[in-house]
Amino acid sequence: MPEIAGNEHSAARERLAARQAELLNALLAKGPAPAGFDEQRLDVERRALLSKRRGIVRMLGPAVADELGDRFRPLFDAYAVEHPRHAGSRAREDAAAFAEWCRASGELSVNRKARWKFWQSN
Amino acid sequence: MVTPMTAQGTQLSPVEVGYLSAGPGRAAETALARLLDAGLVRVSRDGRVSAVHQHGHRGNTPVEARMHKSVQTPVSFNKVVKTAAYSTEMQALHRQLLNDNLMRKARPRAQAWWVFLGAGVLLTVLGFLLPGFFIGAVAFLLIGFWARGSSPVTREGKAVLKNVTASDRVLAVALYGFAGNVASQKVGDLFELSQSVVKMIPLKRKKKSAGSSCGSGCGSSSCGSSSSSCSSSSGSSCSSGSSCGGGGGGS
Amino acid sequence: MAGITDLGVGIGWRSEIDLTVERLPGVDFVEIVAENIHLGNLRGDQRSHLPESVRLLLERGIPVLPHAVSLSLGGADQVDLDRVRHLGEVAEAVGAPMVSDHVCFVRAGGLESGHLMPVPRTKDALDVLVENVKLAQRNLPVPLALENVAALLEWPDGELSEGQFLAELVERTDCWLLVDVANLYANARNIGTDPERFLDEIPLERLAYVHVAGGEQHGDIYHDTHAHAVLPEVLGVLDELCSRVKPPGVLLERDDNYPSDTEIASELAAIRAVVDKHRA
């Protein structure tokens, strides 16, 4: 990873990397709380990040959110904590993965066309 | 806004006028026109409709309220119309029009209705040669007439429609659709909608009367597409990484 | 370095409100989120890949400034030069005098945070940040401005105040500053930053422009949502800033729950009123 400067800077990068990874792991992937942080604030941040992620997935896939209705939020929250976003991944991939996860667990109908046919026949 | 009265003296909403004029698709377009007219939604250049956040305002009719709710996150113009056209609120509106005797359960037109008519005409001609054919001619003509189907709009419904003029831009949509013309002006222009947005609504049939199908074309098979409303746009504020704000409402 | 001329009052361009931005009176400049702009691989006219609305604004002579959210300059990993290159290409496509990102990190340990995370205000973090910023600057065609973020939590072992941290960053990289007064207000509410001290400590002569945004108080936490109205208290921080320096530009950021055109226009007018008050 660190290539630019001398050893001192490499060491600084490594120390920082460990701390940042520990924080994100705690906030996004159920990791242990890093030392020295206010636990309550970690909780606030965890919820804020989750809420933002949920909002983006809802925006990118309104049809999925509509079909899930009230189940959207608890399902998404369950999905999110098990599937933190990988570095460099895009929000759209997150939305697609969530829909796939819902289908795999039977929460979302696999063939959505059938539903539309039902409406059309009315 | 002046909308016509029925014989019983009930006021028709523009959405109902749209339904009588060209079915649930047109009614949905009219609901969208109402929301645009009231400043409750906005449309972007790429044709995504989103709710304008104001306190309390949700639209006047159930169809409008439902549509307003459906665009809390942006939805493409054609999908907004499609979704509303198939909504339970729209079905309720249809039932209301049936109850008011403005519409009736339509007999669908048989695909080969003209075959019966043709046979009837032929038999009529033959009837001049051999009068016995007249019996068959009458029968075939009757079958042909029956197979031609019936208009879903009742005489009263048509009478009401006849009195409606495009006196404002919402009624212009009800009568002609966003893609139509009124007084040699494009109806879409009245809402400052570009033609590329207006043309997102597929015009499948140009039937003047309303059926149980979507009059102004909402029944394309693309209904089942599960693509998200903004998958084709490049402009969502979240394509990668994070936007600067957000993270709010952590409760 | 060219620096920033008088930008005036602007708004963040978002595709959902593109027509609104075009119609609004008193929009002197706009910002676009660089990550949302997809340029082709063509060597030719990059402008043709820009959203129609952005092209139209450029034709009107409205400056368009690319704003990035994903460089993760405060991250421990080396800067992703592809992201830097993209930001530079967007800058060239819109002929921008400057680009910006944040003093933050958005990924670490293989995870993507999805939001701008504050960096610890330590010497380690500053060294890494400075290195990353310098590398980005070497790969950008225009000057880089960096923005203070809103934090919901505080790293335990900060050695510098936020103002000192940014001042040192400017000193060592010669970058510009994009001061977000809403973030400053949020930090005052949430982690006890003193806005006046912050403004005293940062080099105001390196101020590129200012961000203003709305948010919402939730219990004892202020959320910088960009989806609610701008609080008078945030305009108060802008007022405080304007009493010290005439900002080259002030830009309203709204990312969600867009209100009516009229309401957005009145927020812009309120911002302009604060700026003009100090101009007289």
The tens digit of pLDDT for each residue in C115-129 reads: 999 999 999 999 999
Q: Which residues in chain A have their CB less than 8 angstroms from residue B91's CB?
A: 122
Say what percent of chain A tops pLDDT 90. 75
- Compare all CA atoms of chain A with the CA of C123 and give the residue at the minimum distance: A12
| Total number of residues shown for chain B | 251
Quickly state the pLDDT bin for B226 (edges 50, 70, 90). Answer: very low
Residue A47 contacts C where some CB pair is shorter than 8 Å: no
| Both structure tokens of B53 | 């956040």
Q: Please answer yes or no on whether C156 and A87 come within 8 Å at the CB atom.
A: no
Mean pLDDT of chain C: 95
Q: Which residues in chain A have their CB less than 8 angstroms from residue B246's CB?
A: 52, 55-56
Residue B244 contacts C where some CB pair is shorter than 8 Å: yes
Average pLDDT of the segment spanning C261-279: 96
More confident residue, B48 or B109: B48
pLDDT tens, residue by residue, B148-189: 777 888 888 999 899 888 899 999 999 999 999 998 899 999
Highest-confidence segment of B146-160, B193-207, B228-242, C102-116? C102-116
Model confidence at C138: pLDDT above 50: yes
Q: Give the global pTM.
A: 0.84
Chains contacting A (3+ CB pairs below 8 angstroms): B, C
Report whether B48 contacts B74 (CB < 8 A): yes
Q: Given this model, what pLDDT does residue B152 score?
A: 86
Model confidence at A113: pLDDT above 70: no
Model confidence at C202: pLDDT above 50: yes
Count of Cβ atoms closer than 10 Å to residue B199 Cβ: 16
Q: Please answer yes or no on whether B223 and A119 come within 8 Å at the CB atom.
A: yes
CA of C233: how far to CAs of C10, C34, C45, C206, C272, in Å? Answer: 20, 29, 44, 24, 16
User: Which of B223, B228, B248 is nearest residue A120 as measured by Cβ atoms?
Assistant: B223
Average pLDDT of the segment spanning C74-96: 96
Model confidence at C86: pLDDT above 60: yes
Give the distance from CA C198 to its chain's centroid: 17
Average pLDDT of the segment spanning A86-100: 95
User: Which of B73, B86, B242 is nearest residue A62 as measured by Cβ atoms?
Assistant: B73
Amino acid at position B2, single letter: V
pLDDT tens, residue by residue, C43-81: 666 677 899 999 999 999 999 999 999 999 999 999 999
Average pLDDT of the segment spanning B223-247: 36
Quickly state the pLDDT bin for C4 (edges 50, 70, 90). Answer: low
Model confidence at B205: pLDDT above 60: no
Q: What does the DSSP 8-state code read for residue C185?
A: H
Residue A13 contacts C where some CB pair is shorter than 8 Å: yes
Q: For residue B76, which phi and psi values (nearest 5 degrees)? A: -65, 150
Tell me if ipTM is over 0.90.
yes
Say what percent of chain A tops pLDDT 70. 85
Q: Which residues in chain C have their CB less than 8 angstroms from residue B234's CB?
A: 15, 36-38, 51
Residue listed under structure tokens 């001609």: B125
CA of C128: how far to CAs of A10, A88, B16, C76, in Å? Answer: 9, 20, 65, 7
Quickly state the pLDDT bin for B109 (edges 50, 70, 90). Answer: confident
The size of the B-C interface in CB pairs under 8 A is: 127
More confident residue, C66 or B221: C66
Q: Which residues in chain A have their CB less than 8 angstroms from residue C154's CB?
A: 37-38, 41
d(CA C153, CA C119): 10
d(CA C160, CA C147): 17
Model confidence at B1: pLDDT above 90: no
Q: Please answer yes or no on whether A52 and B242 come within 8 Å at the CB atom.
A: yes
Task: Give the H or E element holding residue C132.
Answer: helix C123-138
Report whether B188 contacts B195 (CB < 8 A): yes
Q: Please answer yes or no on whether B244 and C255 come within 8 Å at the CB atom.
A: yes
User: Which of C16, C52, C215 is nearest residue B74 as measured by Cβ atoms?
Assistant: C16
